Structure 1
Amino acid sequence: MTVEAGTQQERVAGRVWAVRLDAHGRPSAGTVRLSCSRPACADQHFSSTPAGRKAAVEHVNMHLARIRADGGPRGEAWCGCRAADCAWHTSDVLTGRRDGARPAEGTVRCGGPVVLMVHANRAGRLWRIAETCVRCAAAIPDCRVLDTAPPPRPAPAPIGAGREAAGKPETGREPTGGNVAAVFSDHAPSPLPPSASASASADASSPAAGSAVTPGARTASPGGAPQRAKRWGKIAQRTVPHDLQPDVLRVELTELGDAFRAYQQRAEPDLVVLAELHERKARAFALWADVTGDGTLRHEAHRARKAAQTTLEMHENRVGGPIGTASGNGPVVERLLTRQQAVHARTVLGHVQDHAPHPEAEVHLAVLLLTLRAARAGIGNITGQDLTAWLQGDAERVLEQLVAADWLRLPGTVTEALASRPEDPTAVTVPTLLPEQPRPFVFGKTTHSKISGWAQKAVGDRKIRKKKLGAATRLLALYSAAHTRPDGRLGHAEDDGLDLDKAAAFCALQPEEITGHAELLIAADWLAEADTTGGRLRGQLTERVLPLGGLL
């Protein structure tokens, strides 16, 4: 990089190589994809996880050999862990705190020489090589330091600079007679006492040497002119002012904007990286709002925080969770609903139970179907095929009950509604869901569509249809799927199953009748096991229906 004459060499961002193993294709196939963050490295696919891990280790070693051939880690690089907001380690490792509380501003700093480190996560699906400072390397769990960079050479001073600058040595460095603020790779100022300059080189390699002068650290002369013009940048269509204070905020916003633009150039998305960027943006914009008093910045911070949460949920929904073992060697489940969408789905089921006009399984099933169609505006389209698929031979009787109870309003007769076709559906109205009524649901169009598709797949499961199971059994199948943990077990871990009375009320059954319907679901390969003793419904979904699980 080009710098002004008489200043130290500009430091560059620390390099990071990330090698990942992800599920690929159908979960039952067991294939994995090996991807590398370097654009020149093409994705590879393997038939099993052990083969993918072996190839990943070979790929990591290939990069390490190239790094050594190119001269190893660079002493002028910024800490790569700091570029990721130090998310690779916990802050209490650096601060010594054990309570998990967030440290005060400026108490956590990078420091020491630049090292080349490598570490892998415990699940054996992510390997990371990076140029970091020695303090971050010491704080990252299971990290191995492979090489240490030599100190960077200071930029040569121009000819005659020593004669023109009064009181300055010809090396171009500032005198150290007073306190000098050394800016480390986290851009946090650290006061340096005069006595520390003599022992700085001896302490530079110690992780605890937070106030020592690190190789290549930029120094600012007290009271003097800035050595170079401050950078300004853009993020979220906003210009970062060049005079924004504190300086650490300006630098973070500028670098964050660059990071978002670099992410957009990636060949393939990485939702974990994107979530980290959104988290950094939320913190930076919240601080920016505190400094300027701009309420729109605080709103943008809230949006970034929600985006980070949604992105992580998308990643979890895409990758799924390991089944069977805690080591992550089991099959990966591609979930139909995210965790938050499953929360909304359970809200719909609760609304159906509370607002069904008759305690009858067929009525509950019809109320569920019509509620999903009219959830957002109180009006929805439906065809005769939809009604007969869900209610079979009871469609006419059930619709007449709902119309008589004024729970449902039709533009014509029940017979006309049952005769409607997809090209000319019937617009039905559910008065309790009209916009002028209190809104029971707060989800948007995408979540509404996902929940509707989830319910359709559960109620219309092919094995349940093949066994010709009734409305109560299908309601129990839907209820059990909505209340499962990631491993397929029913209910929260601390609850030991589902409350039998609540499950029976949703299915319009007596609690003692649940046992017979649970056995029907076992025969239909929906439940692997079931137990109704002690007033609880315990059991587990079979592997084939795990994608319908509600992720409690």
Structure 2
Amino acid sequence: MIAQRLIPHSLRPVVLRDELVELGDLFRAYQQRTEPDLGLLADLHERKARAFMAWADATDDINLRLEARRAEQAAVAARFQQLQRTGHGADGDGPTVARLLAVPTQWEHARSVLAHVADHSPLPGPEARLLTVMLTLRTAHAGTGNLVGQDLTTLGLTDPEGLVGELTCCGWLGIPGTTSDLLASRPENPTTVTVPSLVPHADGSGPFTFGKKMRPKLSGWAQRVVTDKKLRKAKAPAAARLLAMTLATRTSIDGRLGPGGRGVALESLAAWVPVDPEELQRLVDRLTAADWLTEAALTDSHLTGRLSERVLPLTCPLLSSRTAPDRPGQAGHRTLSSEAEMAPPD
């Protein structure tokens, strides 16, 4: 039995049934511990999430799928509790970072927006990608949002008016007047814009799961990143600001780049920040000069290094390399649904 559910003896493949039985035993053993081990508990919840998702696939039981999602959330919560106890450093000695986005669910929502835009970007190039991210964050909940000219002119775009025009011409963005009117908008008289693809369906569903109160928090975080004082002072281009935002969501808890601090794969990074390798090196150099990156190094396969201490409050750490996709559109966790994966060795 696991989670008050009987495991059918007839469940196949056998390796899934055995995994569920073992997990039930491990959870019962954990409950007998005199001292908590949050890292172990998170590992158990992650295993449970994968196993229950496979169980749901095998039986087409939506309740099992919901249980798998609850296990994923429990794993994230356990890891966050562990981080709160140990501080941000890998060795547990560093001070706790007061992040602008304070909890793991907010970090995952920020990544979900970047991933959505990477998969559904209406125009090529890093400038269009950055503007699309910022407009998506302004309109994510209802498909509409307010903009002023300064929202566009502070992004480091070479031709904000022309780019807005392209987004309207292709139908991705709707504005009530001209692009010149939008750029002339001031806080006392903002322009209401619409992104039709983000307007909720009749049942209220949309591409994102966060609510009305979460949207401005995410938008405010992104605005803080792209208008960072040193990036503005260095007149960083839009591509550098897009890279800064992306790397802020691809770090370990102490700011090292990539899952587990092992670096970000260039193949996946190119999906998030669409530039060629030579341009990427120039952008890395710009971020290093702006005290955003330190110890940065580009190899043939990875970007390694860490974010500087001054920007750690803007980071959205990856709590587990096993539950975080390394590229847009990639599954958030490995499942056990494949018969080939689960078959015992010959």
Tell me the TM-score normalised to structure 2 length: 0.67
Alignment match, 2:166: 401
Alignment match, 1:375: 140
2:219 and 2:152 mapped to 1: Cα distance? 14
1:503 and 1:307 mapped to 2: Cα distance? 26
Alignment match, 1:452: 219
Alignment match, 1:535: 301
Alignment match, 1:482: 249
1:526 and 1:306 mapped to 2: Cα distance? 31
One-letter amino acid of the counterpart of residue 379, structure 1:
T
Instruction: Verify: 1:546 aligned to 2:321, yes or no.
Output: no
Alignment match, 2:28: 102
Q: Report the secondary structure of 2:145's partner residue.
A: strand
Note if contact 2:90-2:254 (Cα within 8 Å) is conserved in structure 1. no
Q: How many angstroms does 1:391 deviate by?
A: 4.3
One-letter amino acid of the counterpart of residue 107, structure 2:
A
Q: How many angstroms does 1:500 deviate by?
A: 0.9
Q: Report the secondary structure of 1:488's partner residue.
A: coil
Q: Which runs of 5+ in 1 are unaligned?
A: 1-97, 109-138, 142-303
1:330 and 1:442 mapped to 2: Cα distance? 33
CA separation of 1:343 and 1:415: change in aligned 2, threshold 3 A: same
Greater strand percent: which structure?
Answer: 1
How many pairs does the alignment contain? 262
1:320 and 1:432 mapped to 2: Cα distance? 41
Q: Report the secondary structure of 1:487's partner residue.
A: coil
2:188 and 2:79 mapped to 1: Cα distance? 36
Instruction: Verify: 1:522 aligned to 2:288, yes or no.
Output: yes
Alignment match, 1:355: 120
Note if contact 1:321-1:333 (Cα within 8 Å) is conserved in structure 2. no
Aligned to 2:104, which of 339, 363, 370? 339
Q: How many angstroms does 1:323 deviate by?
A: 4.3
One-letter amino acid of the counterpart of residue 314, structure 2:
L
Note if contact 1:320-1:333 (Cα within 8 Å) is conserved in structure 2. no
Q: How many angstroms does 1:310 deviate by?
A: 9.3
Note if contact 2:149-2:183 (Cα within 8 Å) is conserved in structure 1. yes
Q: What aligned pairs does 1:51-200 form with structure 2 within 5 A after superposition?
A: 100-102=26-28, 140=34
Q: Which has the higher contact order (CA 8 A, sep 6+)?
A: 2
CA separation of 1:321 and 1:389: change in aligned 2, threshold 3 A: farther
CA separation of 1:533 and 1:420: change in aligned 2, threshold 3 A: same
Alignment match, 1:21: none
Q: Report the secondary structure of 2:114's partner residue.
A: helix
Q: Report the secondary structure of 1:381's partner residue.
A: strand
CA separation of 1:434 and 1:480: change in aligned 2, threshold 3 A: same
Alignment match, 2:184: 419
CA separation of 1:413 and 1:316: change in aligned 2, threshold 3 A: farther
Q: How many angstroms does 1:506 deviate by?
A: 2.4
Note if contact 2:109-2:210 (Cα within 8 Å) is conserved in structure 1. yes
Aligned-pair Cα RMSD in Å = 3.3
Q: Report the secondary structure of 2:303's partner residue.
A: strand
Note if contact 1:320-1:335 (Cα within 8 Å) is conserved in structure 2. no
Q: Deviations over 1:233-278 (max 9, x none)?
A: xxxxxxxxxxxxxxxxxxxxxxxxxxxxxxxxxxxxxxxxxxxxxx
Alignment match, 1:428: 193
Aligned to 1:389, which of 135, 146, 154? 154
Q: Report the secondary structure of 2:259's partner residue.
A: coil
Q: Which runs of 5+ in 2 are unaligned?
A: 1-23, 36-69, 319-346
CA separation of 1:549 and 1:361: change in aligned 2, threshold 3 A: same
2:30 and 2:304 mapped to 1: Cα distance? 47
Q: Deviations over 1:348-406 (max 9, x none)?
A: 00111122222122211111111001000111111111111124552101101101111
Q: Deviations over 1:207-247 (max 9, x none)?
A: xxxxxxxxxxxxxxxxxxxxxxxxxxxxxxxxxxxxxxxxx
Q: Report the secondary structure of 1:540's partner residue.
A: strand
Q: How many angstroms does 1:436 deviate by?
A: 2.3
Alignment match, 2:266: 500
Q: What aligned pairs does 1:466-477 form with structure 2 within 5 A after superposition?
A: 466-477=233-244
Greater Cα radius of gyration, structure 1 or 2: 1
CA separation of 1:306 and 1:325: change in aligned 2, threshold 3 A: closer
Q: Deviations over 1:412-455 (max 9, x none)?
A: 11111111111111110101101128611001123222211111
One-letter amino acid of the counterpart of residue 191, structure 2:
T
Q: Report the secondary structure of 2:258's partner residue.
A: coil
Aligned to 2:93, which of 329, 334, 344? 329
Note if contact 2:288-2:294 (Cα within 8 Å) is conserved in structure 1. yes
One-letter amino acid of the counterpart of residue 380, structure 1:
G
Note if contact 1:323-1:331 (Cα within 8 Å) is conserved in structure 2. yes
Tell me the TM-score normalised to structure 1 length: 0.43
Instruction: Verify: 1:513 aligned to 2:304, yes or no.
Output: no
1:366 and 1:393 mapped to 2: Cα distance? 12
Q: Report the secondary structure of 1:390's partner residue.
A: coil
Q: Report the secondary structure of 1:519's partner residue.
A: helix
1:414 and 1:351 mapped to 2: Cα distance? 25
1:470 and 1:104 mapped to 2: Cα distance? 51
Q: Report the secondary structure of 1:457's partner residue.
A: helix
Alignment match, 1:33: none
